[in-house]
């Protein structure tokens, strides 16, 4: 018999967490609100122990950064080893091999026949900022097209590209110019025809002035939205027709979560640029842009970069992430986790009227909660009540969506079947408590 992974020994938050919270409230800005009301002491795989000795199952995976789980041995060893050799030079002062090795490995993983190169940065937003700069320099055009529901970051430019006004944009303007937003054909809420899309584009901005279209192949923060069938292929054709670069934001969907290394590989598409971050280095700050070599050949020396980009410890961690993905066959694991999760989500959908849509690719599965399946009025309060109920019972469960009404899985692919099942049982019980039956 397998024993349960969840172990709650104190009230949540426990006394030590409450003590730290009191200090946090004094010294850390309100803006850093947290999902978990407790403080972590250590993590392993999909499990997290708090400072009071309670153990939780973590479905957030550090908001999608921990495809290989908390503290995998070989990543920890590589970090220790590299930290003892050198922690920083700035690659443009004194170059080091792990930067080049990781670039080579990632370039070879990108889909399509064109030779590729890889530039490294620190965060997802920085990768997107640079993808925009590169697109503008290469095309000599200014306009950038993005989508409803998109999340691309919180810097001035990427905040402008992000859709959700509150909390990400409200009061933080003025925004960056030349960003144009179009609806995303979304099978659940907006089944627009593709011809309408081209009409909308042309009405908004001259396609000959557009440098890049930036799209998440599977929207993450927007609520795990898989664009309508055929749309991404259509968009690739449209961008090629007008000389626009196709930029895939794989910051959340990349690194195997969907069952392919990049989500865009579910389609027959070669993007011009791919932005990566999150799971790239097991939680260390690292991001990158894979681009066609012919594009990078037009970006002059020192015009992109930054002091900390491609940190050697993060690059070593990134190489180990790729080794683990390969050796532990994590793409197959994502498919298996996704299949099991989807079956459980479909099962709760049958039982609880509040769940109206289950969707995703591989292990990137979500479900949308609505008050009424006809009006599709988002059930935001209920969704957050489910998350809180999960927390009280040992599961850290992430939500998402423009309306905050989507429960989503960002769990590590290192989770065991037993832990996954146990976590999903907690979720099921939370839904039963909050949403009742049909």
Ligand X SMILES: Cc1ncc(COP(=O)(O)O)c(C=O)c1O
Return the number of the residue (152 or 342) whose C-beta is nearest ligand X: 152
- Taking CB under 6 A as the binding criterion, the range among 122-130, 199-207, 228-236, 338-346 that sits at the site for ligand X is 122-130
Q: Are 246 and 236 in contact (CB under 8 A)?
A: yes
Name 29's Cβ contacts closer than 8 Å, sequence gap at least 6. Answer: none
Least distance CB 255 / ligand X (angstroms)? 12
Least distance CB 158 / ligand X (angstroms)? 7
Class of residue 51 by CB neighbours under 10 A (exposed 0-12, middle 13-18, buried 19+): middle
Least distance CB 219 / ligand X (angstroms)? 8
Is 172 strand, coil or helix? coil
Taking CA atoms, 68 is separated from 27, 201, 214, 217, 415, in Å, by 32, 39, 27, 21, 9
Is 291 strand, coil or helix? strand
Please give the residues from 381 up to 410 whose contact with ligand X meets the rule CB under 6 A: none
Taking CA atoms, 281 is separated from 69, 121, 122, 311, 323, in Å, by 11, 12, 11, 10, 11
Least distance CB 362 / ligand X (angstroms)? 16
- Binder among 123, 258, 393, 412 for ligand X (CB under 6 A): 123
- Binder among 5, 66, 78, 125 for ligand X (CB under 6 A): 125
Least distance CB 371 / ligand X (angstroms)? 27
| Tokens found for residue 261 | 């290394």
Total residues contacting ligand X by CB under 6 A comes to: 14
Return the number of the residue (128 or 367) whose C-beta is nearest ligand X: 128
Name 84's Cβ contacts closer than 8 Å, sequence gap at least 6. Answer: none
- Binder among 220, 362, 394, 398 for ligand X (CB under 6 A): 220
CA 5/CA 59 separation, integer angstroms: 13
Least distance CB 215 / ligand X (angstroms)? 10
Please give the residues from 227 up to 266 whose contact with ligand X meets the rule CB under 6 A: 249, 251-252
Please give the residues from 144 up to 203 whose contact with ligand X meets the rule CB under 6 A: 151-153
Q: Does position 280 bind ligand X by CB under 6 A?
A: no
**Which chain residues interact with ligand X by CB under 6 A?**
123-125, 128, 151-153, 216, 220-221, 249, 251-252, 277
């Amino acid at each position: 018999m397998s024993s349960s992974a969840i172990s709650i020994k104190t009230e949540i938050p426990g006394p030590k967490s409450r003590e730290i919270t009191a200090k946090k409230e004094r010294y850390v800005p309100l803006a850093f609100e947290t999902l978990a009301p407790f403080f972590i002491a250590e993590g392993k795989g999909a499990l997290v122990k708090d400072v009071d000795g309670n153990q939780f199952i973590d479905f957030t995976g550090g908001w999608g950064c921990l495809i290989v789980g908390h503290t995998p041995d070989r990543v920890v060893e590589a970090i220790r080893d590299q930290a003892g050799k050198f922690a920083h030079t700035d690659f443009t002062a004194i170059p080091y091999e792990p930067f080049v090795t990781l670039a080579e490995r990632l370039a070879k993983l990108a889909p399509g026949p064109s030779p590729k190169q890889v530039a490294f940065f620190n965060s997802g937003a920085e990768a997107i900022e640079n993808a925009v700069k590169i697109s503008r320099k290469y095309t000599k055009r200014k306009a950038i097209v993005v989508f409803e529901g998109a999340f691309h970051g919180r810097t001035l430019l990427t905040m402008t590209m992000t859709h959700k006004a509150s909390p990400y944009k409200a009061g933080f303007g003025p925004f960056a110019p030349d960003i144009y937003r179009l609806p995303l054909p979304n099978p659940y809420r907006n089944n627009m025809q593709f011809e309408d899309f081209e009409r909308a584009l042309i009405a908004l901005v001259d396609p000959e002035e557009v440098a890049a279209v930036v799209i998440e192949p599977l929207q993450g923060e927007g609520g795990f939205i898989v664009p309508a069938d055929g749309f991404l292929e259509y968009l690739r054709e449209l961008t090629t027709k007008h000389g626009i670069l196709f930029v895939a934001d794989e910051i959340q969907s990349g690194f195997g979560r969907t069952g392919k290394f990049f989500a865009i590989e579910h389609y027959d598409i070669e993007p011009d640029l791919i932005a990566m971050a999150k799971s790239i280095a097991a939680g260390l700050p690292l991001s990158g842009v894979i681009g066609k070599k012919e594009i990078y050949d037009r970006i002059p020396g020192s015009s992109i970069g930054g002091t900390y980009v491609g940190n050697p410890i993060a690059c070593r961690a990134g190489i180990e992430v790729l080794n683990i993905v390969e050796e532990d066959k994590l793409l197959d694991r994502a498919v298996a986790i996704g299949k099991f999760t989807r079956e459980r989500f479909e099962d709760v959908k049958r039982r609880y009227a509040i769940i109206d849509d289950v969707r995703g690719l591989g292990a990137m599965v979500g479900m949308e909660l609505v008050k009424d399946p006809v009006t599709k009025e988002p059930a935001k309060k209920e969704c957050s009540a489910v998350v809180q109920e999960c927390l009280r019972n040992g599961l850290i469960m992430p939500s998402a969506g423009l309306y905050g009404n989507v429960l989503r899985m960002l769990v590590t692919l290192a989770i065991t079947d037993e832990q996954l099942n146990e976590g999903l049982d907690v979720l099921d019980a939370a839904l039963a408590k909050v949403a009742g039956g049909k």
